[in-house]
Amino acid sequence: MRDLLFVVFFLVIMVISFRKPFIAVSMWLWSGIFVPVYWLFGFAESFRYNVIFAASAIISYLILKSKPNLRFDFLFFIVILFFLHTTITTNTTLILPEVSWIIWDYFSKAVLLFVFICLIIRKANHFNLLIWLIGLSIGFFALVEGLKFVKSGGFHQIHGPAGHLLADNNHLALAILMTIPLLVYLISATPERWLKIGLIGLVALCVLAVLGTKSRGGFVGLVIVGGYFWLKSNKKLVSTVGIIALVFIASSLLPGKWFERMDTLNDVESDGSFMTRVVSWKVHTLMAMERPILGGGFRATQFGHVWRSLLVDFDKLSFIPSAQPKQKGWAAHSIYFQVLGDHGFVGLFLYLLIICLAFLKLSSIEKYFGDSWQSTLAKMIKVSLMAYCVSGAAVSMAYFELFYALLAMIVCLSIIKKDSELENEKVRFTPPM
């Protein structure tokens, strides 16, 4: 029955999306993050919804008569340049090409989604639908896992669906953190009182879900995001009461082991898990030192024979305290070192340039639009990127499609800003009749 209802819903959305490209591209993002097949168990499980929605978005855009204005944007150009660089590094990978091309294929889909969001999304309702569907994907995970966490009295171990990119507790914590500011934006953009209340409840469950993942990087990110909201809030008393209430609920639910785990943040040198991460960061740095322009290619440093070949020079970085390296390869456990090892110093430079440009553009958009919805959205995307940059320092999520969807929204807001500036210039220089 579930499969039949979903297929009917899917067919209706498909028909509508061919006339409304912004719906198709929003569903493309939703199906990529939510992955409907994880929740279906019958005949509907065999369909590739992400591919179908992608095709729908591309076709509907191509046949659209009045296409939105497309202006060249430097951030757009750098993202494409970074993608082209990863294509070159994949061609020169140190491991079996088939393995690197699988990851490149995943990343190429994220970049293709980025391109079509940039081409299609322009109006407030376009952005709102895109963000609602992010909330209905990652927010759904937080809702389900958060309720389980509360029901179990804090003993439920929160993680994403098995086999999903967000199955790891640290990955899920990062995704939820990035979603919280977007939900806050929806609260301000939603006029219906009951929806506002529901979104506020979802934000509270998202906070509990991040804590329930027991992710230390997630906890640090949550403190920074929460602190930012408090500092920027115009209603500090209400914000303080809300934070105190959440702290009280969380402290009554969280078991003693959670506090012991978070306490290791005070003494990272005695934390074996963290020091093992430092080993991985050093090895990924050695890869970039050996191949500064190209790196090793996607995930090359994780493979045993590549990892062991780099350990020969491990003492070059002995001035950085760490555990002793083992013979088995490890993931980077950091978006920055992941890109550094995969694509060299050139790749890391482009990646950091993308992040810096994103923050600069958001500040410019926020200042230009004042108190409008564009400014509010820019503020919340900035907080979402802040969470990504902070908590991402401890997880291998450099190619996460939500990050590239946020970048695309920044490009779209920048295009709206440029259109507004040109329109103002036109009015300014038009002589009166």
pLDDT at 338: 96
pLDDT bin (cut points 50, 70, 90) of residue 11 is: confident
Q: Which of 11, 83, 99, 22 is nearest to 47 (CA)?
A: 11
pLDDT at position 165 is: 81
Lowest-pLDDT choice from 288-302, 341-355, 374-388, 415-429? 415-429
Is pLDDT above 90 for 388? yes
- The angle at the Cα of 167, spanning 163 to 169, to the nearest 5 degrees, equals 160
Closest by CA to 174, choosing from 392, 337, 381, is 392
* CA-to-CA dists, residue 84 to 13, 89, 90, angstroms: 33, 9, 10
Q: Are 212 and 146 within 8 A, CB to CB?
A: yes
Handedness of CA 157, 163, 168, 173 (dihedral sign): negative
Question: What average pLDDT does the structure give for the chain?
Answer: 87
Task: Give yes or no for a contact between 98 and 115, defined as CB atoms under 8 angstroms apart.
Answer: no
Whole-number Å distance between alpha carbons of 110 and 78:
15
**Could you tell me what percent of the chain has a pLDDT over 90?**
52
Which of 6-10, 178-182, 272-276, 421-425 has the largest mean confidence?
A: 178-182
| Residue 433, pLDDT above cutoff 60 | no
Q: What is the average per-residue pLDDT within 119-123?
A: 94
Task: Tell me what pLDDT residue 268 has.
Answer: 58
- Under 8 Å between Cβ of 75 and 410: yes
Q: Please state the rounded mean pLDDT for residues 181-188.
A: 94
How much is the pLDDT for 59?
92
For 252-272, what is the mean pLDDT?
68
Question: Lowest mean pLDDT: which of 79-93, 126-140, 154-168, 274-288?
Answer: 154-168
Residues 353-386: pLDDT tens digits?
999 999 999 999 999 998 899 999 999 999 999 9
pTM passes above 0.85 = yes
DSSP-derived letter for residue 431 is P
Task: Kindly indicate the confidence band of residue 214, based on its pLDDT and cuts at 50, 70 and 90.
Answer: confident
Residue 202, both tokens: 């979802």
Q: Label residue 266 by pLDDT band (50, 70, 90).
A: low
Question: Is 161 strand, coil or helix?
Answer: coil
Asked whether the predicted pLDDT for residue 41 surpasses 80, the reply is no
C-alpha separations of 226 from 244, 380, 400 in Å: 12, 12, 23
Which carries the bigger pLDDT value, residue 110 or residue 7? 110
User: What pLDDT score was predicted for residue 382?
Assistant: 95
Decide: 348 and 156 in contact? Cβ < 8 Å.
no
Comparing 247 with 307, the larger pLDDT belongs to 307
Banded model confidence at residue 275, pLDDT cuts 50, 70, 90: confident
Residue 198 neighbours by CB distance under 10 Å: 13
Whole-angstrom distance, CA of residue 75 vs CA of residue 84: 14
Closest to 26 (Cα-Cα) out of 111, 110, 138, 129: 129
